[in-house]
Structure 1
Amino acid sequence: MNFEKYPFERLTEILSDVEGNGNYELSALTIGEPKFETPDFIQDTLKNSTELLKKYPASAGIPELKEAMINFVSKRFDVNLDFSQIIPTFGTREVLFNFPQFALFDIKNPVIAFTNPFYQIYEGAAIASRAEVIHIDLVKENDFKAELSAEQLKKCDLVVLNFPNNPTSASMSVQELGTWVEKALKYDFILINDECYSEIYFDENDKPASLLEASKLVGNDKFKNVLVMNSISKRSSAPGLRSGFIAGDAKILKEYMQYRTYVGCASPVPLQYAAAAAWNEESHVEYFRSIYKKNFELAYEILGVKPPQATFYIWLEVEDEIEFTRELYRQKNIKVLPGSFLGREGIGKGYVRIALVENAKKTEEVLKRLKDFIDG
């Protein structure tokens, strides 16, 4: 298999001959990893469950974890699932990689479509599945929203959306997602939405929608051909717990569950109990949201960047993203990620991704440095 280099490896390469300005503390705004302590109650649950390390974890997940995830979906999206409609996963990265291999295995010339720019695991899954790729280009002209022609849709076996979107920070309404559900039914392809940024939003009256809500909206109550993935990594500042889920079409999930018993990626039982505690609790999520909201208020005040509906990313338009990245590091000791590293066929060119994952004090300082550089 010939996998492309990860964006962060490419970033290291283009900065290898550049020395960051030592007059400033290094600020890495490149990776979408929250820089906050995992809440104590989650850590305590993990510590108090270590005696369960003596048990092999079941691939299907402990009932307490599935119930916590089902409760989350019910409270957040007003969608009621049963145990047949959800599978706990080892975060979302592993399922985003192995589910396409499972789903496309018996198809002679499989075709997968996914948003472009993208989280690179989508491309890796396509390569591992020997699938033809159709890029769903997210550009300024379409407000960074997903569109494909009827001819392209007819070819698709699997479509992966990602809204709220990494890296553009765009969102799609429940009605817009509903049209995608209708397309999945009309053209008979599996439709996935990677929703791991759904909980990093800033207006209680304008929360991002789930594809499950959209499926109900258009009358697809059994979620035929529809799946979503979500994770507590961003929501609970707990990426190390590796707790996610895939939910939706029970028929697909029944067969996928059998496949997963061979994959062997079940989460250790103590981690599952800690994850259940996290999925069941909301006040800590509200606290983290308040920090991200403050960060975007600072970004608007300092850079004039309009806050997105969700995510913690700025998709900043620049003239030359490679030169911008190199000079920003040289002059201000700030690292950002060139948008062209996250896209293909020219998509992402002329943008950099900035992750606002620090506290407000650090964010304000680095944004002022960034403003200085831009005005330079």
Structure 2
Amino acid sequence: MKLDIYPFAKLREVLSGINPNSEYDEIDLTIGEPKFGAPKFIQDILKNNTDSLGKYPKIAGNDILIKSILGFVKKRYDIDVKPEQLCTTLGTKEVCFNFPIYYLYDKQNPTLSFTNPFYPIYEGAGVVSKANIIYIDLNKENNFKPTLSTEDLEKTNLVILNFPNNPTSTILSMKELESWVNLALKYDFFLINDECYSEIYRDVPPPSLLQASLNIGNSKFKNIAVINSLSKRSSTPGIRSGYIIGDERVLVGYKKYRTFVGCAQPEPLQIASASAWSDEEHVREFRNFYNQNFKLAEEILNITVPKAGFFLWLYVGDDINFAKTLFQKESIKVLPGSFMGKNNAGKGFVRIALVYKSEIIKSALSRMSKYIP
């Protein structure tokens, strides 16, 4: 089994031996980890329910958590999802990895396709599944929008999209999502959209694959599913609360599979997660922070503000040398795009996570600006 080196490990290797400018505190803009702190009300609920550590948690999620996620989906998308169409998960890294392993297990010569650049867990799942991998290249020439040839559509078993996209921050319109649902039905592959950045947007909420499915009359979500989590939405990556919603014919078997994996979210975290899924005020506050940061980026770097996400996908030419120079001269870390893709996808770009309070982002972007060609 040959798993690739994680992008952050590649960066550590590249930066090893470089002494950053000691005049500045280090600012790490590489990882999509919100730095605003977990909301206090979520922390308080977690603290007040530690007595529930004395019992085994439900792998399928307790009733409070299930109800809160269904309520979130109803409020956000105006969709009534049945409990049978929902599987709560231990964050979404888990489902990104073990769902492809489950789904592809019985396929003859399985093929997995996903957007490129990509979250490395997608590729890891393909490697462990011994699947053929098709990289759906996202680049300037196609406006960072995904397409597959007819030949690839005919042989793929599972497609993972990720919109709003990490790292490019591109979104797909409702029509584009509807087109992908039609393709999944026509060519009989399973389609997942990783929607973990769906709640980080500027003005207009991006559409969901669930809505697109309903729009074309696929009311049972045949061949499709979406995943989401609290990590970005609620600035709580440590709470490990996520879900997959979609085709219950597939999810019934996946739920059974998960009982053997042993990845249950602890009961106090389930209770705290339920409170987070049920509240929107804290999410609006975080969106305001990100919007302020993008306004600064627009002013300082003269960029076009993306419609969603919290990443800048910035062209710099030599992405690796840019990252090394910025770390040495300004003590700022950014992630080279070439570490996130294959077939030269991402080359020349850097990913910049605008996940700090505005005063830190303003300082970082101002110091960074003089190195951008």
Asked whether the two chains share a fold, i.e. TM above 0.5, the reply is yes
C-alpha distance in structure 1 between counterparts of 2:293 and 2:265, whole Å:
33
**Alignment match of 1:254 (pick from 249, 252, 255):** 252
Do 1:115 and 1:135's aligned partners in 2 also have CA atoms closer than 8 Å? yes
SS in 2 for 1:352: strand
Do 2:110 and 2:157's aligned partners in 1 also have CA atoms closer than 8 Å? yes
Return the offset for 1:17: 2.2
C-alpha distance in structure 1 between counterparts of 2:52 and 2:205, whole Å:
37
**What is residue 118 of structure 1 aligned with on the other side?**
118
Return the offset for 1:180: 0.3
SS in 2 for 1:9: helix
Deviations 1:12-67 (A, max 9, x none): 01111211111122111000000011111111111111111111011111011011
Counterpart residue type for residue 330 of structure 1: Q
Do 2:310 and 2:355's aligned partners in 1 also have CA atoms closer than 8 Å? yes
C-alpha distance in structure 1 between counterparts of 2:319 and 2:372, whole Å:
13
TM (norm. structure 2) is 0.99
Return the offset for 1:68: 0.5
Return the offset for 1:371: 1.0
**What is residue 45 of structure 2 aligned with on the other side?**
45
**What is residue 105 of structure 1 aligned with on the other side?**
105
Counterpart residue type for residue 345 of structure 1: N
Do 1:331 and 1:373's aligned partners in 2 also have CA atoms closer than 8 Å? no
Runs (4+) off by over 4 Å: none
Return the offset for 1:374: 2.8
**What is residue 175 of structure 1 aligned with on the other side?**
175
SS in 2 for 1:267: coil
Tell whether 2:224 aligns with 1:217: no
C-alpha distance in structure 1 between counterparts of 2:351 and 2:369, whole Å:
15
C-alpha distance in structure 2 between counterparts of 1:142 and 1:67, whole Å:
40
SS in 2 for 1:265: coil
Do 2:165 and 2:171's aligned partners in 1 also have CA atoms closer than 8 Å? yes
TM (norm. structure 1) is 0.98
Counterpart residue type for residue 10 of structure 1: K
Do 2:116 and 2:137's aligned partners in 1 also have CA atoms closer than 8 Å? yes
C-alpha distance in structure 2 between counterparts of 1:149 and 1:213, whole Å:
25
Return the offset for 1:245: 0.2
**What is residue 133 of structure 1 aligned with on the other side?**
133
SS in 1 for 2:61: coil
C-alpha distance in structure 2 between counterparts of 1:367 and 1:135, whole Å:
32
Tell whether 2:156 aligns with 1:156: yes
Return the offset for 1:373: 2.8
**Alignment match of 1:277 (pick from 267, 272, 275):** 275
CA RMSD of aligned residues (A): 0.8
Return the offset for 1:359: 0.3
Deviations 1:90-119 (A, max 9, x none): 000011100001000001200000000000
**What is residue 313 of structure 1 aligned with on the other side?**
311
Return the offset for 1:207: 1.1
**What is residue 299 of structure 1 aligned with on the other side?**
297
C-alpha distance in structure 2 between counterparts of 1:364 and 1:216, whole Å:
42
Return the offset for 1:320: 0.5
**Alignment match of 2:232 (pick from 234, 237, 246):** 234
Return the offset for 1:266: 0.7
Counterpart residue type for residue 242 of structure 2: G
**What is residue 244 of structure 1 aligned with on the other side?**
242
Return the offset for 1:282: 0.1
**What is residue 8 of structure 1 aligned with on the other side?**
8
Return the offset for 1:150: 1.1
**What is residue 339 of structure 1 aligned with on the other side?**
337
Return the offset for 1:158: 0.2
SS in 1 for 2:34: coil
C-alpha distance in structure 2 between counterparts of 1:60 and 1:50, whole Å:
20
Counterpart residue type for residue 221 of structure 1: S
**Alignment match of 1:322 (pick from 310, 317, 320):** 320
Do 1:332 and 1:373's aligned partners in 2 also have CA atoms closer than 8 Å? no
Counterpart residue type for residue 248 of structure 1: G
Identity %: 54
C-alpha distance in structure 2 between counterparts of 1:131 and 1:293, whole Å:
40
Do 2:316 and 2:372's aligned partners in 1 also have CA atoms closer than 8 Å? no
Tell whether 2:94 aligns with 1:63: no
C-alpha distance in structure 2 between counterparts of 1:310 and 1:260, whole Å:
32
Gaps of 5+ in 2: none
Return the offset for 1:341: 0.3
C-alpha distance in structure 2 between counterparts of 1:28 and 1:327, whole Å:
14
SS in 2 for 1:329: helix
Deviations 1:226-255 (A, max 9, x none): 000000001101000000000011111111
Counterpart residue type for residue 171 of structure 2: S
Do 2:112 and 2:126's aligned partners in 1 also have CA atoms closer than 8 Å? yes
C-alpha distance in structure 2 between counterparts of 1:192 and 1:142, whole Å:
21
Instruction: Please identify, of 39-48 and 119-128, the stretch whose mean Cα deviation from structure 2 is larger.
Output: 39-48
**What is residue 369 of structure 1 aligned with on the other side?**
367
Return the offset for 1:372: 2.7
Tell whether 2:356 aligns with 1:353: no
SS in 1 for 2:231: coil
C-alpha distance in structure 2 between counterparts of 1:75 and 1:374, whole Å:
42
Counterpart residue type for residue 43 of structure 2: Q
Counterpart residue type for residue 127 of structure 2: I
**Residue pairs, 1:18-57, within 5 angstroms:** 18-57=18-57
Counterpart residue type for residue 232 of structure 1: L
Do 1:15 and 1:326's aligned partners in 2 also have CA atoms closer than 8 Å? yes
